[in-house]
Amino acid sequence: MSAVDSRTFEIVKDVVLSAHRSCTTAEKIDFYNIWASTFEQDARVLDYRGPSLAASAVSAHFSGKCQAAVVLDVACGTGMVAKLMKKNGFEHFVGVDGSEAMLQRATESGLYKDLKLVVLGENPLPVQSDHFDVVVIVGALSVGHLHVKVIRELCQAAKQGGLICMTTRGNLDNASYKAALEDEIKQMEEEGLWRCVEVKEVKEWERAVRENEEGYIPGCVYLFKKL
């Protein structure tokens, strides 16, 4: 049995909890650079459903030709979302992430026509405005990661009529962030920037890792169309 195959829930739980102890941007990037080698295996141990739920939401509501669509995968990591969307017929992906090691894994997937290394929040999203048929961000909209204001850049990157898919966790330690995210989403609706296609609350998002949590924690998928 390889070191990767032998990763238990207790090992993965310690890894995830250590991510929350990383405070500075540099520390978080270092963490993800180290985690890249086992990230996908650990996601399976956690039964992390965010990528599959996001990919399913986009596929269910995308009305154009999937094969021709250009997808911007923000905080793409190793390429988990792109791999799932590829199975649903999407073929053209541009990825953005702040971890060089994660991007190396994404490169190895062979799915992306372009990959960009950028720390969002400290730098603007390095892509063309009004260009993408689909913009997706899974996992990075949570406490200690990206500020909720980044979703305005996601909307700006999408073309008119394009879909923007976002996810966040719904557990107690992310409650304030989720509330702020939904306030920003609502504000953007009121400004006429996008309209809601679907908001899906999911009870079993991923296995709980904190001592005060049991079983699974909840999460949410938000799908919007740019106006």
CATH of the domain at 129: 3.40.50.150
Cα separation, 185 vs 193, whole angstroms: 10
- Asked if 219 and 205 count as a contact pair (C-beta separation under 8 A), the reply is yes
> For residue 13, how many other CB atoms are within 10 A of its CB?
18
- Token pair of 212, please? 């005060």
Residue 200 covered by a domain: yes
Q: What is the pLDDT along the chain (227 residues), one digit of tens a residue?
A: 344 457 899 999 988 888 777 678 888 999 999 999 999 999 999 999 999 999 999 999 999 999 999 999 999 999 999 999 999 999 999 999 999 999 999 999 999 999 999 999 899 999 999 999 999 999 999 998 999 999 999 999 999 999 999 999 999 999 999 999 999 999 999 999 999 999 999 999 999 998 889 999 999 999 999 99
Residue 104 covered by a domain: yes
Pairing mode, if any, of strands 216-226 and 112-117? unpaired
Residue 203 covered by a domain: yes
Residue 20 covered by a domain: no
Residue 38 covered by a domain: no
Residue 218 covered by a domain: yes
- Judged on CB neighbours under 10 Å (0-12, 13-18, 19+), 40 is middle
Q: Which residue has the tokens 């306030």?
A: 183
The residue among 193, 134, 191 whose CA lies nearest residue 159 is 134
Report the number of distinct structural domains present in the chain: 1
Cα separation, 4 vs 81, whole angstroms: 21
The residue among 153, 142, 221, 220 whose CA lies nearest residue 193 is 153
DSSP count for the chain of H helices, then E strands: 8, 7
Element (H, E) at 11: helix 9-20
pTM: 0.94
Residue 83 covered by a domain: yes
pLDDT tens per residue, range 49-68: 999 999 999 999 999 999 99
Domain ranges, residue 142: 48-226
Residue 188 covered by a domain: yes
